[in-house]
Structure 1
């Protein structure tokens, strides 16, 4: 059990050390407190959802592993989420996919309504959480021959257009009820396994379908839409309709948020390098923070170089107000609650490290051509006691410090997860 008095003493020492280089740790902690991470629901049940929980995952989605205790009902998923949020400092958001509806009514994706998600809204209000949303363009019989909105079959397109329209109304309902803007993110898996002849027509169909979905103007205080690209996927290795170039053009021209997923680009390509350029032209940015291992494998976020680079780009370029930060990973080989906690806390830690830089000072030295000072400071900062500031942040938020959170997860697994059928 962490010694809180010692944590406070360590923080005071760290505070003084950061002050020597012009960094106000209290201001950094205040900014971190206000940052909401959109935690993805699908880590808790391996992307099964509750529309057809025994159905096969399709559309490039694959969750590997059979760790015990996966949530199989909305009640179990909310129970697990409550445990995870209790171990994460701050108040955040939950990101729901359409297949996570909570209703006894037999309903398909082109029939869903706000009433099918009222239990989630009631729960979010109780927990003090915001709600984001996503249409589900996968794991459904109407995902045909690798296509949804870009399908050459009008019946298929019409089904998915209707689904997209209904998700907008649900996201609007979330925003109205909870009082926080609900980000509704559109990603589709459409593409070809092998080289197509016509690369233009599918993109024309996708553009027209999206335009039809977004035709009705909604109050952006309640909901905003994002569009998400992907380089390739399982079954769409050769060609993806919704490429980065397509969605960057669509998002900018249609005044939508552009979503960058850390795993949706070439294995040697990173999204941190894209943030400053995209910020000049886009309405705003949605991040799906993930960890690709050779491909879009959605591993749990760790404190690696790219996570820290993403955080630095957001903070250094004053993009906090224009960037929505969400998580997107799912690992069925480990404790699912631990995955949520590790990924979210690491994202917060990376943001804190960026907030603890003397950014204005470093920018000035760079402008003056003093690259020696820039290098010296950025390297020495790696040894600064950021961990003591983080531990203090956890204490202030009444969440466990260090390994204490893991002990709670182990106890929860023994008492709850291992006793699930």
Structure 2
């Protein structure tokens, strides 16, 4: 099936009507698009190869990580992964970043311990980012490793194992700073660990004390925030840590509050299904400087489905815009689906995150806030409901058109061509 694209006159005509209708509500669509254009989404490299990395190709995932599906054409090496990413960036309006995990190092075939990783092991990624104008964010990889086999890393009771993971995270912070210095945009180095227990523990305090000490050691070296910014990420549970996770939301929130400048990561798939990240943003930002959003889609107890234009995705972006938090919010994606075309998954998720943000920017926020302050909740509700039928899609279409990316579902035509010309050759 081939998807058709509206003609430029059709796009402009629809936008002219939309612009007029939004102006009647006091919304400047041009200003909304200009604000959106300044936002860089950090794409997660691991969608392209099912979180495999290049350390031990073909090794099974461990540490609460699982990718399902076997759609043909996944990236088998760094050059293929970069080629796939290049296509995704061409299908997205705006200029965006890359979120890279430590296991995507290129060591020339040499065995390099994770605690011995250095900037030179990511030189090709840095050259690629410079050529494409992408910032890079970075993550230690504290899973799928023999020293994480029992589900503990920075909270491990064995000092030697704990030291290995401390040194790995220290190395990653230095690599992040190298990226930020070379690219002229701060790298966010985000620490997530799988530490926890499958069954109910007797000692909940001890592992958390060890984790706090490990983090203190990791973050002891001062790095220029113009080059590297540190973040920590919580999770409710993982495979093998169903009953207890050391790095809970409460743990990391307290830790971030007590360490000024530390960024708190809120992953939309890392909470109980009845908890909403959108409800946490305004509270958290009263006490921490910045947040990192990992936009994902939880489905029951699975945390990493492709982002859709769901109520929660929209609510998250509304909170960011309504609170004036956009300058303090770093937005990245975190999902991996191997059951569908991986490039399409990236593109669909990223475009939905951007569309949700555009929807939020097209709200008459000041007018809604004024109605709320004077107690006219009737008008507030009426206006919020009317906004759902506004022609925001025409604004999105012209935004894509002006950025020279496919309008509507026609992006899938390019994905299918790439699949036939490139991905098909990767079949076993």
TM-score, normalised to structure 2's length?
0.98
Provide structure 1 residue ranges, at least 5 long, that are not aligned to the other structure: none
For 1:19-98, list aligned pairs within 5 A.
19-98=23-102
Where does residue 388 of structure 2 map in the other structure?
Answer: 382
From 292, 311, 324, the equivalent of 1:305 is: 311
Where does residue 353 of structure 2 map in the other structure?
Answer: 347
For 1:152-231, list aligned pairs within 5 A.
152-231=157-236
Partner-residue secondary structure (3-state), 1:298: strand
**Matched-pair contact (CA < 8 Å) for 2:62–2:149:** no
Partner-residue secondary structure (3-state), 1:292: strand
**Matched-pair contact (CA < 8 Å) for 1:229–1:244:** yes
- The yes-or-no answer on 1:419 pairing with 2:425 is yes
**Structure 2 CA distance for aligned equivalents of residues 54 and 109 of structure 1:** 18
**Structure 2 CA distance for aligned equivalents of residues 103 and 75 of structure 1:** 14
Where does residue 104 of structure 2 map in the other structure?
Answer: 100
Shift of residue 215, structure 1, vs aligned partner: 0.3
For 1:263-412, list aligned pairs within 5 A.
263-412=269-418
Instruction: Report the more deviating stretch, 28-37 or 288-297.
Output: 288-297
**Structure 2 CA distance for aligned equivalents of residues 103 and 6 of structure 1:** 51
Shift of residue 102, structure 1, vs aligned partner: 1.9
Where does residue 132 of structure 2 map in the other structure?
Answer: 127
Shift of residue 126, structure 1, vs aligned partner: 0.5
**Matched-pair contact (CA < 8 Å) for 2:64–2:240:** yes
**Structure 2 CA distance for aligned equivalents of residues 25 and 225 of structure 1:** 34
Deviations 1:185-234 (A, max 9, x none): 00000011001000000000000001000001100011101000000110
**Matched-pair contact (CA < 8 Å) for 2:268–2:294:** yes
Deviations 1:74-115 (A, max 9, x none): 000000000111000000100000000123032110110000
Where does residue 261 of structure 1 map in the other structure?
Answer: 267
**Structure 2 CA distance for aligned equivalents of residues 366 and 261 of structure 1:** 30
**Structure 2 CA distance for aligned equivalents of residues 100 and 5 of structure 1:** 44
**Matched-pair contact (CA < 8 Å) for 2:270–2:303:** no
**Matched-pair contact (CA < 8 Å) for 1:112–1:166:** yes
Q: What value does the CA root-mean-square deviation take over the aligned residues?
A: 0.7
**Matched-pair contact (CA < 8 Å) for 1:2–1:404:** no
Runs ≥4 in structure 1, deviation > 2 angstroms?
none
**Structure 1 CA distance for aligned equivalents of residues 409 and 368 of structure 2:** 34
Shift of residue 250, structure 1, vs aligned partner: 0.6
Shift of residue 345, structure 1, vs aligned partner: 0.3
From 8, 14, 20, the equivalent of 1:4 is: 8
Shift of residue 267, structure 1, vs aligned partner: 1.1
TM-score, normalised to structure 1's length?
0.99
